[in-house]
């Protein structure tokens, strides 16, 4: 009857816990938590956030530059306030419940973290007090080797503590550290541990902290948004677009990616024109324009759009700022609010995945913005986070008609919404014959796009609904 033998064992180990292993171990994390457990072990337990230790201020190396000091005292306070605001948003975007520290229930024989135990590469870090530990990538060791006779394998992948009284055991367990001896930005290790017949395993996340990259929202719309467009032999339309933009936004910067065969210099104020090799293509131009943006957001428009009193960039910024997890928010073009969702299955890893674009399919609406809903892709008029779009990028291989392809590449990486309350106009159509010849793709272009999906996206089929 194994269950009885096992029960006996558990009884023994339960005593071990309450004699302090759980306590001793937890003590390096969250003391309050521990006391809760000891006084009222059955009280509902909620995990502490982070790894318990409050963040400590760091020490500046000798002769280092004092950066706050480099800012003119006049506007130092404003800048500090804005920085704090952006940093809060950055943390909201990067933190996850999946990084909080969780413990195995206190009535399992030994207490250990089942999630959220994170170490930095090359840095020795205290790990849960357990009795026999084994790891694959890192090394285990004890701060002091004084108790050498009872320790096997200090500084190795297997650590065994034996012939110890509970008091001795606890002394040692408080000193067990884990170190990954090589540098890596993001990996993990598993700790296998056992006490007599009891066994368990828990994960260690190994992570090099990243450096924040924040944008200064400044004080007005032109500090926050850059307008971007791509043109090809349509200077007439482009000039109409610029005139309409200036009616409403005097000094917002406009970036123009231009792959016309014979470029015409644009000399307007606050317009940055980039001249590409002729016919380099639609997505190449989009990617170029976005690469040059220095504001937190950019607004994408086509060169034949028309700004109207309904084109309130501020309203799109408001939606983005109120919803930090959003990356892209689209509006409507001359009244029509085009959006779609994408059904995607990875498939078996050999023949490839299946993709189905579904027009007019949306998900939940945004908190406080009933006129906006989560979708997978939007129309050619959208506000986006510069950093998020750079991570996905418009594939410069796509030379002609392409749009959904960006949102397909970005599926699972971008949170996209579509809003009905902001719109832009469209100029009357009347493209030159020469323009049309390039604008409208031949059979060759379509074939190329399908071949690209097959290889690049590892798809076996795609359906455009």
Q: Which of 283, 221, 281, 214 is nearest to 249 (CA)?
A: 221
Rule CB under 8 A: which of 118-177 touch a copy of itself? 122
Q: Which is closer to a copy of itself, CB of 175 or CB of 458?
A: 458
Q: Which is closer to a copy of itself, CB of 56 or CB of 74?
A: 56
For the record, the structure tokens of 332 come out as 């409507």
Of the candidate residues 81, 184, 243, 360, the single one contacting a copy of itself (CB under 8 A): 184
Does 455 bind a copy of itself (CB under 8 A)? Our answer is yes
**# residues contacting a copy of itself (CB under 8 A):** 143
Of the candidate residues 27, 51, 52, 83, the single one contacting a copy of itself (CB under 8 A): 83
Q: Which is closer to a copy of itself, CB of 211 or CB of 433?
A: 211
CB of 111 to a copy of itself, least distance (A): 11
Of the candidate residues 49, 144, 145, 390, the single one contacting a copy of itself (CB under 8 A): 390
Separation CA 140–CA 149 (nearest Å)? 17
Does 336 bind a copy of itself (CB under 8 A)? Our answer is no
Of the candidate residues 48, 124, 188, 279, the single one contacting a copy of itself (CB under 8 A): 188
Does 235 bind a copy of itself (CB under 8 A)? Our answer is no
Q: Which residues of 245-272 are buried (b: 16+ CB within 10 A; e: fewer)?
A: bbeebeebbbbbbbbbeebeebeeebbe
* Kind plus residue range of the DSSP H or E element containing 315: helix 313-322
Separation CA 276–CA 279 (nearest Å)? 8
Of the candidate residues 52, 279, 396, 420, the single one contacting a copy of itself (CB under 8 A): 396
Beta strands in 149-237 (DSSP E): 151-152, 158-161, 176-179, 186-195, 198-207, 225-231
Q: ∠ CA 171-115-185 to the nearest 5 degrees?
A: 95
Separation CA 89–CA 326 (nearest Å)? 11
Does 415 bind a copy of itself (CB under 8 A)? Our answer is yes
Q: Which is closer to a copy of itself, CB of 126 or CB of 288?
A: 288
CB of 29 to a copy of itself, least distance (A): 15
Separation CA 137–CA 133 (nearest Å)? 13
Of the candidate residues 201, 220, 247, 360, the single one contacting a copy of itself (CB under 8 A): 201
Rule CB under 8 A: which of 255-274 touch a copy of itself? 272-274
Separation CA 263–CA 258 (nearest Å)? 7
CB of 359 to a copy of itself, least distance (A): 13
Q: Are 299 and 313 in contact (CB under 8 A)?
A: yes
Rule CB under 8 A: which of 265-324 touch a copy of itself? 272-277, 280, 284, 287-288, 290-294
Q: Which is closer to a copy of itself, CB of 377 or CB of 423?
A: 377
Q: Which is closer to a copy of itself, CB of 60 or CB of 148?
A: 60
Rule CB under 8 A: which of 37-76 touch a copy of itself? 41-42, 44-45, 47, 55-68, 70-71
Of the candidate residues 157, 171, 175, 207, the single one contacting a copy of itself (CB under 8 A): 207
For the record, the structure tokens of 237 come out as 């339309």
Separation CA 402–CA 382 (nearest Å)? 15
Q: Which is closer to a copy of itself, CB of 72 or CB of 430?
A: 72
The set of residues, in sequence order, having a beta carbon less than 8 Å from that of 349 and lying 6+ positions away, is none
């Amino acid at each position: 009857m194994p269950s009885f033998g096992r029960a006996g064992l558990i009884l023994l180990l339960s005593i071990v816990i309450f004699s302090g292993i759980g306590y001793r171990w937890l003590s390096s994390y969250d003391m309050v938590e521990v006391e809760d457990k000891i006084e009222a072990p059955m009280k509902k337990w909620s995990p502490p956030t982070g790894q318990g230790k409050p963040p400590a201020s760091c020490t500046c190396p000798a002769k280092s530059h004092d950066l706050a000091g480099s800012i003119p005292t006049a506007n130092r306070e404003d800048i500090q306030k804005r920085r704090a605001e952006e940093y809060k948003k950055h943390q909201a975007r990067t933190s996850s419940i999946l990084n909080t520290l969780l413990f195995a229930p206190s009535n399992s024989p030994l207490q250990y973290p089942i999630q959220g135990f994170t170490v930095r590469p090359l840095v020795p870090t205290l790990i849960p007090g357990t009795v026999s530990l084994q790891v694959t990538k890192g090394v285990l060791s004890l701060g002091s080797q004084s108790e050498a006779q009872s320790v096997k394998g200090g500084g190795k992948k297997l650590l065994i503590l034996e012939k110890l009284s509970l008091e001795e055991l606890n002394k040692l367990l408080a000193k067990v550290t884990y170190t990954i001896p090589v540098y890596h930005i993001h990996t993990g290790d598993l700790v296998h541990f056992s006490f007599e017949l009891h066994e368990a395993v828990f994960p260690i996340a190994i992570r090099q902290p990243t450096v924040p990259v924040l944008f200064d929202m400044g004080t007005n719309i032109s500090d926050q948004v850059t307008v971007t467009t791509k043109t090809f032999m349509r200077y007439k339309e482009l000039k109409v677009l610029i005139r309409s933009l200036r009616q409403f936004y005097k000094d917002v910067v406009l970036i123009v990616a231009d792959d016309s065969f014979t470029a015409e210099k644009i000399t307007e104020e606050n317009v940055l024109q980039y001249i590409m090799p002729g016919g380099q293509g639609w997505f190449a131009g989009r990617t170029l324009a976005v690469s040059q943006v220095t504001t937190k957001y950019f607004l994408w428009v086509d060169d034949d759009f028309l700004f109207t009193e309904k084109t309130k960039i501020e309203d799109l910024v408001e939606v983005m700022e109120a919803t930090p997890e959003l990356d892209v928010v689209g509006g409507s073009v001359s009244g029509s609010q085009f959006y779609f969702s994408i059904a995607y299955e990875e498939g078996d890893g050999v023949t490839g995945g299946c993709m189905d674009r579904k027009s007019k399919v949306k998900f939940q609406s945004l908190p406080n913005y009933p006129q906006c809903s989560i979708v997978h892709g939007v129309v050619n008029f959208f506000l986006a986070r510069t950093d998020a779009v750079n991570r996905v990028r418009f594939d410069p291989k796509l030379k002609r008609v392409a749009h959904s392809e960006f949102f397909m590449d970005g599926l699972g990486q971008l949170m996209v919404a579509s809003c009905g309350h902001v719109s832009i106009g469209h100029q009357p159509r009347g493209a030159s014959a020469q323009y049309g010849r390039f604008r409208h793709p031949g059979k060759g272009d379509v074939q190329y796009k399908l071949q690209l999906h097959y290889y690049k996206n590892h798809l076996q089929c795609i359906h455009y609904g």
